[in-house]
Amino acid sequence: MLRYVAARLAAMVLVMLLVSACVFVLMRVLPGDPVVAMVGMMDVSASTLAGMRHSLGLDRPLPVQFVVWLGNVAHGNLGVSIRSREPVTGVLLSHVPVTLELAALSLAVAVMVAIPFAMLAVRHHGRWLDRMLTAGSLVGVSFPGFVLALGLIYLMSLRLRWLPPTGYVSPVDDLADNLKLMIMPTLTLGLTSAGLLTRLLRGQLLEEISHGYVRTARAKGATERAIMVSHVLRNALVPFTTVLGNEAGVLLSGAVITETIFALPGVGRLAVENVLNRDLPVIQGVVLWSALLYLSINLAVDLIYGVLDPRVRYG
Amino acid sequence: MDMASTTGITRRSLLKRSLMTAAGLSVAAPIHQPVPGYAAGAPAVKGGTLRVAIDSEPLGPDPARPFSRVDRYVDLTIYDTLFTFDEKLRIQPSLVARWETPSATEYLWHLQPGVRFHDGTPFDASAVKFNIDRIQDPKNNSPSRSLLSTVAGVDVVNPTTVHVKLTQPNAGLLSVFADIPGLMASPAAMAKSGSDYLNHPIGTGPFVFGEWVRDEHLSVKRSPSYWRRDPQGAALPYLDGVMFRAIPDMQAKLTALLTRQVDVIDSMPVTAVATVKQQAQYVQAPPLGYVFFFMKVDQPPFNDARVRQALCWAIDRPAIVQTILRGTATVAQGPLPPASWAYDPRFTAYTPRDVGKARQLLNAAGASTLNFSFLYPSEEPFTSVAQVLKSNWAEAGVTANLQQQDFSTLLQNMYAGKFAALMIDYSGRIDPDVSVGSFFATGGLNNAGKYSNPQVDRLLAQARSTSVTTERAFLYREVQRIVMHDAPIGLIYYTALSNGIAKSVRGYQLMADGTIRLTNVWLQR
């Protein structure tokens, strides 16, 4: 198992290197200039623009820029933001906690909705409750997140005046305010994911229930509750975990639209703003972070398989 | 359209005609709408924090660095400018208390005595020299350097007097120092903080920098020793502080105002104006900027003025203003906008729309099947405006191939001259030397279409070398007539920034250049 993990970690480094190189080249091949994006249309001469590009090293050959950047990364230095002049590591570290909190809360909502709803649907399979839950989860999957977000703002903020519509307060500063501000973004993301997870888990549970071991357990006198929780659910959780891992990856790399609508200073908003502004060092930092997360979650999911299903062997 | 036929203007004729222009200037007085309560002179209440929602994160409060519109909001709380301007965009004293012009290429600036930076160091002539030198130093790559190209040097005469030498006369220069290049930062603070200055900016402004948590908020708090007083002699500012917060989504920003999470929003969808008027206060600045399109004048098909004029005649500008902008903008007639002291309310161009004339001009130019690429930003209202332009031009037999581009790419193409026609907006500057000169002078900073007309160059140079406002207004109006005939750009409508503010906000001033002045703002309890 240790050898397996070591091999996977080595492969991760290689993948991240490739991802970085691809993004580095792509961002420079695509049209758009970080200096021009920064100054806008403000009476600037061509020589001043050239001077600004030179001072940022943007006039050096592409391979040189990449090697310099890579050398800095190897020393733990992700560079400095072109716009804010802040170190990219610091910029990332200030945005990651927001996204982590949002992702964790959203996943919790998704799981807490998906598992009971799926089990309820299976228990009432073919009846009206099952049909309602199935239809409800389909709506969850198909409903665009931004519509849900705007609907929630309209209802909770404008109509009922229960929740503030936008903003972020660190939980360290004020936990109550933080949670109040996180309710709507969390519901937006959590309910959308819950739809997908409910449908998937319902299907898996129905498949597992038809297997012979369920009949055997029933014959041995196990209660329906014990069969569902200890046998059926556990087996159905293997594909569920794969999708959950994928959802976690998506959420942790930043929920772009949700973070923008609710003005949350997370990684998603950071990525979008800096792509539009062509702030290359920050984009590189965000991409590295996302790649690292995806690969780590994939590895974690693979290791969880072994816990959920003892037949899985690593080699 | 009244077309210019002058080939040059003598001093005598200039004086005569400028007298006539002076009569017109009073008509051109810009609209200024003070917020209710301010004009009535209600007694100000001290205290409270004003929460301002802005479009994007500021680039940072450093006068020599690049800046965006939201930076102006923040910077003017921490810093004062050397000069300022009134509602009619006339230059007024600020940190420079009074000034003399010993010759056309010299200024003597007399500074406000006794002003100190927030760090306690004195604001004096050497601080002025430091700040201007810093922008001019090529090593600092300040984007404002181009605007100071006529400044030959700054000398300290004594602690309260500065001698500014110019390479050539520049009547518009003082207006530049009423904007970002005129913000005075503490030299001692710069030396102390070094590269971390953005987190410790020090000015002489009404508010002292508080903290900047990136993507969360930037706060400033009342300066206890601000040098300005209100008319009753009471200390300014009235507010305890200001909190700026970036809310990029316009709908979310509007909701934040309506639910009283913020007191000010710096923009809103045109569809929300009625709601804001009803539930809050709607403030609109006098129109200073414009939405327009460049045409590449040095290349076919737009090297023929008739083709450019045809495009201008074919546009239904009132329809764009009424349907897309719901009447929140005004049809642009020339590059001198209503807020400018040089504005001529009688001047019209390409009005009313005349598709037949457009067809005639195209036929005469041999371009009856004109086909070109039209670049524009991939956001509203540009996307809707582009659709209307396309259908307007189609009526004249012209095919515009619409190409949306994100702002960064569009600007890159504009600066590189890689376009046939390109639509963009310009926020405008308070003096026509920058806002007109930079667009139409040969080699001008914003002359992306490569327009060149020696007659326009002469008039612009003449306008630069005289400091008499009526003479300058006359000359810029001449330029306006010529360039609207030549049509190197197609003007569509004048833009005026609008803010939504809570009903409790008093004394709020939204200036034509989009800046907000918070020194006199107070919150009604």
* A314 within some domain: no
* B380 within some domain: yes
pLDDT of B39: 44
* A105 within some domain: yes
Q: Report whether A132 contacts A117 (CB < 8 A).
A: no
* Distance, CA of A278 to CA of A28 (rounded, Å): 9
Mutate to test the interface with A, among B259, B414, B427, B450 (most CBs of A within 10 A): B259
CATH number of the domain where residue B355 is located: 3.10.105.10
Same domain, B390 and B487: yes
Label the pairing between strands B207-213 and B399-405: unpaired
CATH number of the domain where residue B177 is located: 3.90.76.10
A223 has pLDDT over 90: no
Same domain, B334 and B274: no
Same domain, B93 and B217: no
Tens digit of pLDDT for each residue in A172-215?
889 999 999 999 999 999 998 999 999 999 999 999 888 888 88
Q: Which of A37, A42, A166 sits opposite B247 (nearest CB)?
A: A166
Cis peptide before B381 (omega within 30 of 0): yes
pLDDT of A43: 76
By C-alpha distance, the chain B residue nearest A267 is: B215
CATH number of the domain where residue B513 is located: 3.40.190.10
pLDDT of B163: 98
Radius of gyration of the CA atoms of chain B, in A: 23
Geometric angle at alpha carbon B397, from B391 and B399, rounded to 5°:
60
Task: Quickly count: other Cβ atoms within 10 Å of residue B221's Cβ.
Answer: 18
Same domain, B91 and B110: yes
Mutate to test the interface with A, among B65, B141, B292 (most CBs of A within 10 A): B141
Same domain, B292 and B279: no
In the listed set A40, A74, A108, which residue is the last one of a domain according to the structure? Answer: A74
For CA atoms A32, A36, A40, A41, the dihedral sign is negative
The segments of chain B whose pLDDT lies below 70 read 1-42
- Indicate yes or no: CB of B57 within 8 angstroms of CB of A273: yes
Same domain, A17 and A70: yes
Same domain, A65 and A105: no
Reported as a pLDDT band with limits 50, 70 and 90, residue A36 is confident
Same domain, A64 and A94: no
Cβ contacts of residue A137 below 8 Å, gap of 6+?
A117, A194, A195, A196, A198, A199, A202
Look at chain A and report how many structural domains it folds into: 2
Same domain, A226 and A277: yes
- Indicate yes or no: CB of B245 within 8 angstroms of CB of A263: yes
One-letter amino acid at A63 equals P
Label the pairing between strands B489-495 and B289-295: antiparallel
Cβ contacts of residue A225 below 8 Å, gap of 6+?
none
DSSP state at residue B320: I
Reported as a pLDDT band with limits 50, 70 and 90, residue A48 is confident
* Distance, CA of B52 to CA of B73 (rounded, Å): 9
* A27 within some domain: yes
Give the percent of chain A with pLDDT over 90. Answer: 27
Same domain, A166 and A277: yes
Same domain, B352 and B470: yes
Cβ contacts of residue A216 below 8 Å, gap of 6+?
none
**3-state DSSP call for residue B92?**
strand
* Distance, CA of B295 to CA of B299 (rounded, Å): 9
Number of helices and strands in chain B (H, E) = 16, 23
For CA atoms B462, B464, B470, B476, the dihedral sign is positive
The minimum CA-CA distance between B149 and chain A, rounded to whole Å, is 10
Same domain, A185 and A211: yes
Q: Report whether B129 contacts B143 (CB < 8 A).
A: no
Q: Which of B195, B245, B426 sits opposite A41 (nearest CB)?
A: B426
Same domain, A290 and A216: yes
- Token couple for A279: 């702030």
Which string of b and e fits A107-118 if b means at least 16 CB within 10 Å?
A: bebbbebbbebb
Look at chain B and report how many structural domains it folds into: 3
CA B501 and chain centroid, separation: 21
Q: Name the average pLDDT for chain A.
A: 87
Range 226-265 of B in CB contact (< 8 A) with A: 245-249, 251-253, 255-256, 258-259, 261
Same domain, A228 and A294: yes
Continuous H helices in B259-402: 273-279, 305-314, 317-319, 355-364, 382-395
The minimum CA-CA distance between B157 and chain A, rounded to whole Å, is 30
Q: For residue A22, what are the domain limits?
A: 2-74
Same domain, A125 and A161: yes
**3-state DSSP call for residue B504?**
coil
pLDDT of B3: 40
The minimum CA-CA distance between A284 and chain B, rounded to whole Å, is 18
* Distance, CA of B304 to CA of B308 (rounded, Å): 7
CATH number of the domain where residue A191 is located: 1.10.3720.10
Task: Quickly count: other Cβ atoms within 10 Å of residue B391's Cβ.
Answer: 11
Among candidates B436, B446, B423, which has minimal Cα distance to B482? B436
In the listed set B196, B226, B261, which residue is the last one of a domain according to the structure? Answer: B196
A/B interface, count of CB pairs below 8 Å: 137
Continuous segment of H or E residues that includes residue B470:
helix B469-486
Geometric angle at alpha carbon B146, from B140 and B152, rounded to 5°:
90
Among candidates B215, B503, B490, B497, which has minimal Cα distance to B372? B490
Label the pairing between strands B371-377 and B421-426: parallel
Continuous segment of H or E residues that includes residue B99:
strand B96-103
Q: Which of B56, B141, B147 sits opposite A51 (nearest CB)?
A: B141
- Token couple for B424: 């963009």
* B261 within some domain: yes
Tens digit of pLDDT for each residue in B351-395?
999 999 999 999 999 999 999 999 999 988 999 999 999 999 999
- Token couple for B181: 């290049």
pLDDT of B1: 47
Same domain, B338 and B220: no
- Sort out which chain A residues have CB atoms less than 8 A from B214's CB and list them: 84, 86, 91, 94, 265
10 Å CB burial of residue B46 (0-12, 13-18, 19+) is middle
Same domain, A168 and A190: yes
- Indicate yes or no: CB of A265 within 8 angstroms of CB of B216: yes
- The three-state (H, E, C) secondary structure of B4-43, written as one string: CCCCCCCHHHHHHHHHHHHHHHHHCCCCCCCCCCCCCCCC
Same domain, B90 and B173: yes
Q: How distant, in Å, are the alpha carbons of A24, A28, A35 from that of A278?
A: 11, 9, 8
Q: Report whether B132 contacts B204 (CB < 8 A).
A: no
pLDDT mean over A300-311: 80
- Indicate yes or no: CB of A49 within 8 angstroms of CB of B66: no
**3-state DSSP call for residue B224?**
coil
pLDDT of B235: 92
In the listed set A51, A74, A97, which residue is the last one of a domain according to the structure? Answer: A74
Q: How distant, in Å, are the alpha carbons of A65, A132, B228 from that of A127?
A: 63, 9, 76
* A80 within some domain: no
pLDDT of B33: 37
User: Is B149 an interface residue toward A (CB < 8 Å)?
Assistant: yes
In the listed set A41, A74, A107, which residue is the last one of a domain according to the structure? Answer: A74
Q: How distant, in Å, are the alpha carbons of B149, B274, B328, B386 from that of B270?
A: 39, 9, 7, 17
Cis peptide before B206 (omega within 30 of 0): no
Q: For residue B520, what are the domain limits?
A: 46-61+205-285+497-525
Q: Report whether B11 contacts B489 (CB < 8 A).
A: no
pLDDT of A23: 85
- Indicate yes or no: CB of A43 within 8 angstroms of CB of B446: yes
Same domain, B408 and B260: no
* Distance, CA of A98 to CA of A169 (rounded, Å): 9
Q: Which of A49, A85, A270 sits opposite B415 (nearest CB)?
A: A49
pLDDT mean over A76-97: 88
Same domain, A25 and A156: no
pLDDT mean over A14-27: 87
In DSSP notation, chain A reads -HHHHHHHHHHHHHHHHHHHHHHHHHHHHSS--HHHHHH-SSS--HHHHHHHHHHTTTTS-HHHHHHHHHHHHHTT---B-TTT--BHHHHHHHHHHHHHHHHHHHHHHHHHHHHHHHHHHHHTTTSHHHHHHHHHHHHHHHS-HHHHHHHHIIIIIIIS--S-SS----TTT-HHHHHHHHHHHHHHHHHHHHHHHHHHHHHHHHHHHTSHHHHHHHHTT--HHHIIIIIIIHHHHHHHHHHHHHHHHHHHT--HHHHHHTT--SHHHHHHHHHHTT-HHHHHHHHHHHHHHHHHHHHHHHHHHHHH-TT----
* Distance, CA of A140 to CA of A122 (rounded, Å): 18
pTM given for the model: 0.83
Same domain, A6 and A150: no
> E-strand spans in B159-271?
161-166, 207-213, 217-222, 241-246, 264-265
pLDDT of B514: 85
* Distance, CA of B21 to CA of B456 (rounded, Å): 19
Same domain, B176 and B209: no
